[in-house]
Amino acid sequence: DAGVIQSPRHEVTEMGQEVTLRCKPISGHNSLFWYRQTMMWGLELLIYFNNNVPIDDSGMPEDRFSAKMPNASFSTLKIQPSEPRDSAVYFCASSFWRAEAFFGQGTRLTVV
């Protein structure tokens, strides 16, 4: 299995632009998580899906952030409009049981 695949690995964008991060979970997993990692706050859970349905989005910072999971093999995290404070590493993770999550390599986002 290729593991959780995220794209792009790096993204540099200008403030105000729309950013879309993509994730392909491990085949057969039924839970998907989006995390944000910063030096200040560590690993923060933004949102998680179970069987493609958003279960808890209380970690999404504000309305500029949205996430979708149209099917079991694909999810997106969108930021519109982006701001410099959104700069971070965004991780996608998936699991069959919620506990044992497998992480992707992350997308390093820089908003200038």
User: How far is C-alpha 103 from the chain's CA centre?
Assistant: 10
The interface region with other proteins, picked from 13-21, 38-46, 69-77, 80-88 by CB under 8 A, is 38-46
- How many positions of this chain bind other proteins (CB under 8 A)? 20
Angle at 86 between CA 35 and CA 107, to 5 degrees: 50
Burial class (CB in 10 A: 0-12, 13-18, 19+), 23: buried
**Distance from C-alpha of 16 to C-alpha of 59, rounded to nearest angstrom:** 22
Among 17-25, 68-76, 77-85, 89-97, the segment contacting other proteins (CB under 8 A): 89-97
Q: Is 74 in the site for other proteins (CB under 8 A)?
A: no
Q: Is there binding between residue 102 and other proteins (CB under 8 A)?
A: yes
Residues making contact with other proteins (CB under 8 A): 4, 33, 35, 42-43, 45, 48, 56, 91, 93, 97-106
